[in-house]
Amino acid sequence: MGHFRMSSTRLAHRPVGVPRAARGRHRRLAWAVTSTAAASMFVAPAAVAETAVPAPAASPSSGTPAAIDLGTLGGTSGSATAVNDRGQAVGFSTLAGEAATHAFSWTAKRGMVDLAPSAAVGASLSQ
Amino acid sequence: MNDRGQVVGFSTLAGEAATHAFSWTAKRGMVDLGTLGGMSSSAAAINESGQVVGGSSTAGDAATHAFLWTAKGGMVDLGTLGGTGSSAAAINDRSEVAGGSSIAGDAGGGHAFSWTAADGMVDLGALPDFAGGRGFSVAVAVNERGQVVGRSATARFHGTHAVSWTGGSGLVDLGALPLDVFSEAVALNADGQVVGNSAGPFSEHGFSWTAAGGMVEVTEPGSLESNAAAVNDRGQVVGSSRGLSFNHAFVWTAGGGMVDLGNLGGSFGEAAAINDRGVVVGRSATTGDAATHAVMWTVSSKREEDRTDDRHGGDGPSGTDERATPES
């Protein structure tokens, strides 16, 4: 379960065993988790084996769309928040040095453009 | 952002003392929309005509009021429902505005409103709340039919429920997923399909709601938690889903279920929005989780068969193709 990223505290509050079992598609997973299990204790071998089998709808296949990296404005954290029908995306990103967060616009032609290039510091967020 | 590429938001000013709403175009760059007399403003949405809504502090920074901004008229105060403050969250192409406002006496947490130039600000009401008071509600989105969605406090367990308002049906409680206490609507499409999130003591999952089909859980086998973020006019819902061995962005349809969008090599991905052509955007961790980058996916938009249950019935392939034309 090396890929497991959910925090243990979060899960510890979630005794998914009983209630989730009532919800159809969750049944398999529900049995993999006991109400007292910490995140590191998903060890019931049979249950792990079951949940490790990718479900058809979720399995990456040839139909999985490619993720296109839009990058950042120079920092290490960027996020696109909206896209219009022309395929133009907007969002926000940290700049190099991580001191500021700026809104950006992205188009296939021009790539990522800082909406407030003159603002050395400060933040801007776009909708 | 609208389809003409006009972007709105808010930005700190030089000196960082205040934040102002802005509008941006590639040609003209960033334009400061000003305020209603106070220090700060923030833009929340823009329609295809370039009308912008949001919230701004008023003179003396006494309160925050919802505003409507146009290039010609500048920023106009939309008032309140009788209380001190208000803020606008959304505007459609017919210039109908939705948001939240405090009510007379500033009782409770305020009510959702809709606003039109003709009728001014109208109180959309709230569900009966636990104290027998005047309730709480807030609106977050409006579609081209004038249908407004948001959330309202419920009497049960001090929770909230996703709600929808239409001229015909008034306030409709969309409920919550089984065992859940909290739900909220976050978006809706032109047909009135509403998406949001529902949470209880045990988990949180995205939902999709239609008048015909009610509330359906947006999930997949193995998902411990999911969030729905947006829906397009084809009924494609996007968000993120987390399980024991995955944490990924998804696209979901009523008929096709959830499909993993993949990521940039890191341990998580989230989708935030989808347009009517099936272009999805969000963010994803990169290889080794070295950074988080903005990301774009393009998914097939030919999933119309998924929507036949809540469509205006009887439309075959030709009818569904017509709907590909963006309405906004």
Q: Which residue has the higher pLDDT, A74 or B108?
A: A74
- For residue B220, the Cα-to-chain-centroid distance in whole angstroms is 23
- Taking CB atoms within 8 Å and a gap of at least 24, the contacts of B212-217 are B212/B309, B212/B310, B213/B254, B213/B309, B213/B310, B214/B175, B215/B174, B215/B175, B215/B176, B215/B177, B216/B254, B217/A23, B217/B177
Q: What is the DSSP letter of A73?
A: B
- Average pLDDT of the segment spanning B178-196: 97
- Phi, psi of A5, deg, nearest 5: -115, -5
- pLDDT value of position B302: 61
- pLDDT value of position B128: 87
CB-closest option in B10, B275, B293 to A71: B293
- Which helix (H) or strand (E) segment is A47 a member of? helix A45-52
Strand order in the sheet with B7-12: A124-126, B7-12, B19-25, B29-32
Q: Chain B within 8 Å of A12 (Cβ-Cβ)?
A: no
- pLDDT value of position B325: 35
Q: Which residue has the higher pLDDT, B327 or B147?
A: B147
Q: What is the pLDDT of residues B1-20, one digit of tens each?
A: 999 999 999 988 877 788 99
- pLDDT value of position B291: 97
- pLDDT value of position A77: 95
- pLDDT value of position A51: 31
Query: For A74, which residue in chain B has the nearest alpha carbon?
Result: B293
Task: Report the C-alpha gap between B141 and B160 in whole angstroms.
Answer: 17
CB-closest option in A58, A119, A125 to B260: A58
- pLDDT value of position B77: 98
CB contact under 8 A, B220 and A58: yes
- pLDDT value of position B175: 96
Q: Which residue has the higher pLDDT, A18 or A125?
A: A125
- Phi, psi of B104, deg, nearest 5: -50, 135
The mean of the pLDDT values for chain B is 90
CB < 8 Å from A in window 42-101 of B: 43-46
Q: What is the DSSP letter of B25?
A: E
Q: What is the pLDDT of residues B34-57, one digit of tens each?
A: 999 999 999 999 999 999 999 999
CB-closest option in B178, B284, B296 to A23: B178
Least confident of B103-112, B131-140, B151-160, B258-267: B131-140
Which candidate in B7, B19, B205 is best for mutational testing of the A interface (most A CBs within 10 A)?
Answer: B7
- For residue B191, the Cα-to-chain-centroid distance in whole angstroms is 15
CB contact under 8 A, A52 and B280: no
- Phi, psi of B310, deg, nearest 5: -120, 25
Q: Chain B within 8 Å of A43 (Cβ-Cβ)?
A: no
Tokens of B311: 């469509």
Tokens of B89: 């969250």
Q: What band does B129 get if pLDDT is binned at 50, 70 and 90? A: confident
- For residue B187, the Cα-to-chain-centroid distance in whole angstroms is 4
- pLDDT value of position B16: 74
Q: What is the pLDDT of residues A23-68, one digit of tens each?
A: 333 322 222 222 222 222 222 233 333 333 333 333 344 457 789 9
- Contacts (Cβ under 8 Å, ≥6 apart) of B181: B154, B156, B157, B159, B199, B200, B201
- Average pLDDT of the segment spanning B272-283: 97
Task: Report the C-alpha gap between B9 and A117 in whole angstroms.
Answer: 15
Best CA proximity match to B297, nearest among A87, A61, A57: A87
Task: Report the C-alpha gap between A72 and B227 in whole angstroms.
Answer: 24
- pLDDT value of position B156: 77
Q: What is the pLDDT of residues A81-115, one digit of tens each?
A: 999 999 999 999 999 998 889 999 999 999 999 99
The pTM for the full model equals: 0.80
- pLDDT value of position B202: 79
Q: Are B284 and A67 in contact (CB under 8 A)?
A: yes
Tokens of B266: 């890191």
Q: What is the pLDDT of residues B198-255, one digit of tens each?
A: 999 878 999 999 999 999 999 999 999 999 999 999 999 999 999 999 999 999 999 9
- pLDDT value of position B235: 97
- pLDDT value of position A11: 31
3-state DSSP call for residue B251? strand
Distance to chain B for A65, nearest Cα, Å: 6
Q: Chain A within 8 Å of B284 (Cβ-Cβ)?
A: yes
CB contact under 8 A, B297 and A80: no
- pLDDT value of position B149: 98
Task: Report the C-alpha gap between B297 and B303 in whole angstroms.
Answer: 16
- Which helix (H) or strand (E) segment is B321 a member of? helix B317-322
CB < 8 Å from A in window 187-216 of B: 200, 202-203
Residue B163 CA: distances (Å) to CA of A126, B195, B233: 26, 11, 19
Q: Is the pLDDT of residue B310 over 80?
A: no
Burial of B314 per CB tally in 10 Å (0-12, 13-18, 19+): exposed
CB contact under 8 A, A76 and B299: no
CB < 8 Å from B in window 88-127 of A: 88-91, 93, 103-106, 110, 112-113, 115-116, 119, 121-127
Q: Is the pLDDT of residue B96 over 60?
A: yes
CB-closest option in B1, B257, B258 to A90: B1
Q: Is the pLDDT of residue B161 over 80?
A: yes
Residue B146 CA: distances (Å) to CA of B77, B98, B124, B236: 21, 9, 12, 21
Q: Is the pLDDT of residue A22 over 60?
A: no
Give the best-scoring range by mean pLDDT among A1-15, A42-56, B149-163, B291-305.
B149-163
Q: Chain B within 8 Å of A34 (Cβ-Cβ)?
A: no
Task: Report the C-alpha gap between B238 and A99 in whole angstroms.
Answer: 31
CB contact under 8 A, A79 and B292: yes
What ipTM describes this predicted complex?
Answer: 0.87
Task: Report the C-alpha gap between B6 and B168 in whole angstroms.
Answer: 33
- Which helix (H) or strand (E) segment is A30 a member of? helix A27-30
Task: Report the C-alpha gap between B8 and B30 in whole angstroms.
Answer: 9
Q: Are B123 and B136 in contact (CB under 8 A)?
A: no
Q: What band does B109 get if pLDDT is binned at 50, 70 and 90? A: confident
- Phi, psi of B33, deg, nearest 5: -85, -5
